[in-house]
A and B are shown apart, each in its own frame.
Chain A
Amino acid sequence: MTFTLNAALHARNFDVSLTLGPAETVAVLGPNGAGKSTLLGIIAGLLRPDSGRAVLGEKTLFNLDGGASHFLPPHTRGTALLAQEPLLFPHMSVLENVAFGPRAAGESRACALETARHWLAEVEAAEFADRRPGQLSGGQAQRVAIARALATDPELLLLDEPMAALDIHAAPMLRRLLKRVLANRRAIIITHDILDALMLADRAIVVESGHITEEGPTRAVLEKPRSKFAAGLAGMNLVTGTITGRGLTSDGGLDITAHPEDGAVPGQDGVAVFSPTAVSVFLGAEHGSPRNSFAVTITDLEPHGDQIRVHAGGLSADITPAASADLGLTPGMTVYFVIKATAIAVYPA
């Protein structure tokens, strides 16, 4: 029950091959115009590639190789698409919107409404059932759109930047919701946010100029990016752990002082994110209440642009070559990484 795709669309210089396991979620990262939405359009059947083949479980979505011309229309594919905008049908109530898919699949009206109620409850939007989409906030509408997509029981869920149009207060809640509903489900999620990739996806692929330039487990792609895009986007320090009142306690026992983002509740799983440029390196312990100071052992030093990236204890710091020389850094040395509390963001995981 895997999903395999290879497709080429010459007009957009697009050529991608991809395989997904039965319950795997893959994050697609990449700059604007790289072909991420083209990928979803081709899978959903909204775009017809020039050549290629896609198989979802038992079903051949399209086969345009070697003179074959098999192309299933979108409504027979079982690939629900969730876009950046919720696109709830404005002339139907919220409940009718969610019941739309089951109705189209041939369920009776009563049965479809029952399914719709179930999924609305699942996304904590049951109280909006009788409202019109125009009466919902952006975050509420996107939750309903998720329920609408899930109500069709898709074999493959396609998410095109589902949180890009939301304000920063609505995003964390939706991210938690997606994490819950995407578990044990096959999905492809396009995102600009490495946090989405980290929290929602098992694997990440980077698409640049219509081609996959990097592929691997999300953490590996984000921590040791090989493609230019992932390097610019990621290379961030990510520390997972448990959210506390004043920051986060890492799984390794580090106490991190930081300002938790909205929606971060103490006791919850969370992730602390900070840039390597925010990390200073000292030979001795530095103290001061708003600062974090961690003793770490250097594993590796590498040039990174016009800076030196210091890898130590699973974290990285960017310092100038001059500073590196002054400190006499070498692998195996124990140093202190110092980060201001205000430079660390803590998100619920």
Chain B
Amino acid sequence: MTPVSAPRSKARTGSRTNRRDTRYTGVPPWVFALAAAGALFVLLPLAAMVVRVNWGEFIPLITSESSLTALGLSLRTSAASTVLCIVLGVPLALVLARASFPGQRLLRAFVLLPLVLPPVVGGIALLYTFGRQGLLGRSIELAGIQIAFSTSAVVLAQTFVALPFLVVSLEGALRTAGTKYEAVAATLGARPTTVLRRVSIPLVLPGLASGAVLSFARCLGEFGATLTFAGSLQGVTRTLPLEIYLQRETDADAAVALSLVLVAVAVAVVGLSYRRPRALPSQAGTE
């Protein structure tokens, strides 16, 4: 009997249930069958490749000079592209998630375009932008820099195709996090840059990390845009996917071995990123 208080009680989230619970799931059995088929569709080709590997020659094949050069170039350019994706993608995601301005939907559509564009088309577009005869290429060349068919071109091509992965992932995380914490931080006297550095970014760090990992993985596998815009020059622009494609013509064993290396790197990268959010304590707090 407390007639004086009329608190608006907010529904609190219930206690976390165990993963192996006994709740009704409502998933029909035939869905499990189709899901198994889907999983097989992904796993079988990988298994087929593993079966086809010439294990006796495996180590020499993947440690040949051209292989190591290609792998090194792939890792270096992918790392550089990921950094570029973060530098350009974080502001893009912030603007798309937080600001509102005319043409915002259009901007989002264009930023996401490389996701659905054939990479070779992206390569051609980049060539007509940064190439010798391109839109910006001429002025860049006057400054004594040539981009097309250089390692920089590889980085640009990879960034072009990988940027949407980071933007999509981070924009989603920013929208989920909401603006409540940012508003509180501002009323506590924090300038916008301080709010961004100490509140917004730390809160979406898992989203940023998984976005960066996805971008890195996409960079690692990039083929079409790189070949079109950067060519295939050993040690300069011939990344691992290009090397694999080239080896396939002459030495199938080498191609398979290198493919396996690429799969291993990709699995390691993705595995790393998808274990992290679960290991962290729930970031969203009371949400």
Q: Which A residues have a C-beta under 8 Å from some C-beta of B? A: 32, 44-46, 73-81, 83-91, 100-101, 104-105, 132-134, 148-149, 152, 158, 161, 163-166, 168, 171, 192-195, 233, 236, 261, 273-275, 342-343, 345
What total of chain B residues lie within 8 Å of the partner, measured CB to CB?
A: 35
Q: Say yes or no: A100 contacts B198, CB within 8 Å.
A: yes
In the complex, B236 has a CB within 8 A of chain A = no
Q: Say yes or no: A164 contacts B10, CB within 8 Å.
A: yes
B142 to chain A, nearest CB (A): 42
Please tell me which one of the listed residues B3, B8, B281 contacts residue A161 in the complex, with CB atoms under 8 A apart.
B8
Q: Say yes or no: A75 contacts B181, CB within 8 Å.
A: no
Please tell me which one of the listed residues A44, A79, A163 contacts residue B7 in the complex, with CB atoms under 8 A apart.
A163
Please tell me which one of the listed residues A78, A87, A171 contacts residue B184 in the complex, with CB atoms under 8 A apart.
A87
Q: Say yes or no: A273 contacts B7, CB within 8 Å.
A: no
Please tell me which one of the listed residues A86, A105, A345 contacts residue B4 in the complex, with CB atoms under 8 A apart.
A345
B231 to chain A, nearest CB (A): 45
B208 to chain A, nearest CB (A): 13
B284 to chain A, nearest CB (A): 7
Set of chain A residues within 8 Å of B199, measured between Cβ atoms: 89
Q: Say yes or no: A192 contacts B6, CB within 8 Å.
A: yes
Q: Known A133-B285, A164-B10; judge A81-B187 contact (CB<8 A).
A: yes
In the complex, B100 has a CB within 8 A of chain A = no
In the complex, B112 has a CB within 8 A of chain A = no
Set of chain A residues within 8 Å of B7, measured between Cβ atoms: 163-164, 166, 171, 192-193
With A75-B190, A90-B282, A343-B1 already in contact, 13 other A-B pairs whose C-beta atoms are closer than 8 Å = A75-B186, A80-B187, A80-B189, A89-B185, A90-B285, A100-B198, A101-B189, A101-B190, A104-B194, A105-B189, A134-B285, A164-B7, A273-B3
18 contacts between A and B (CB under 8 A): A44-B183, A46-B187, A75-B186, A78-B189, A80-B188, A83-B184, A87-B180, A87-B181, A89-B199, A104-B188, A149-B188, A161-B8, A165-B10, A192-B5, A195-B4, A236-B3, A275-B3, A345-B1
Q: Say yes or no: B188 contacts A192, CB within 8 Å.
A: no
Taken together as a complex, chains A and B put the C-alpha atoms of A76 and B187 apart, in Å, by 8
Q: Say yes or no: B3 contacts A104, CB within 8 Å.
A: no
Taken together as a complex, chains A and B put the C-alpha atoms of A83 and B181 apart, in Å, by 11
